[in-house]
Amino acid sequence: MVYRARASCPTCNLADEVWLDKGTVCFTPLTTCDRCGTMYDPLDFISQFIELRTNATISSKFVQSQRRT
């Protein structure tokens, strides 16, 4: 099951959203903070899990991130 989680930057605390599948981050092992550029492992800084709706569409951000890997 794929679900979303919110991770917070360890440097500036800016929240970012990540997608998890079977307990691991789907598309990238590291998240880059949009504000300060810090790279961090989102699994270490999960602040909140977000339940997926059954008919949720995949966001463009997810698609872009997937292409990057």
Residues interacting with Zn ion, by CB under 5 A?
A: 9, 11-12, 14, 33, 35-36, 38
Residue ranges in the chain assigned as alpha helix (H)? 60-68
Shortest CB 39 distance to Zn ion, Å = 10
3-class DSSP assignment, residue 20: strand
Shortest CB 5 distance to Zn ion, Å = 17
**Is 2 or 36 the residue whose CB approaches Zn ion more closely?**
36
Shortest CB 64 distance to Zn ion, Å = 19
Integer angstrom CA distances of residue 57 from 23, 35, 46, 60? 20, 26, 22, 9
